[in-house]
Amino acid sequence: MMLSEETSAVRPQKQTRFNGAKLVWMLKGSPLTVTGAVIIVLMLLMMIFSPWLATHDPNAIDLTARLLPPSAAHWFGTDEVGRDL
């Protein structure tokens, strides 16, 4: 008794190209998706540029500047040991 196995022909997958116009068209219909994407991009940019945005040491103690009100140097004032808030 002979067994015969059928093999199906493997079709090559169709190559898809990036279509920017289709992406823009899809995003136009969903403002919530665009809002989420903008928030994520802004957070990524803040992570990348954080060393240049916050140049001071957050744990630096300056007892001469304790409990100062908001000013140009300390936008939200200082705490009990002079740390910037």
Give 66-81 pLDDT, tens digit per residue: 999 999 988 899 999 9
With 80 as the cut, is the pLDDT of residue 4 above it? no
pLDDT value of position 5: 67
What residue segments make up the domains of the chain, in order of their start?
20-56
In this predicted structure, the answer to whether residue 85 has a pLDDT above a threshold of 60 is: yes
pLDDT tens digits, one per residue of 15-65 = 777 778 887 887 788 889 889 989 999 999 999 998 888 877 878 898 998
Is this prediction's pTM over 0.75?
A: no
Is the distance from CB of 65 to CB of 78 less than 8 angstroms? Answer: yes
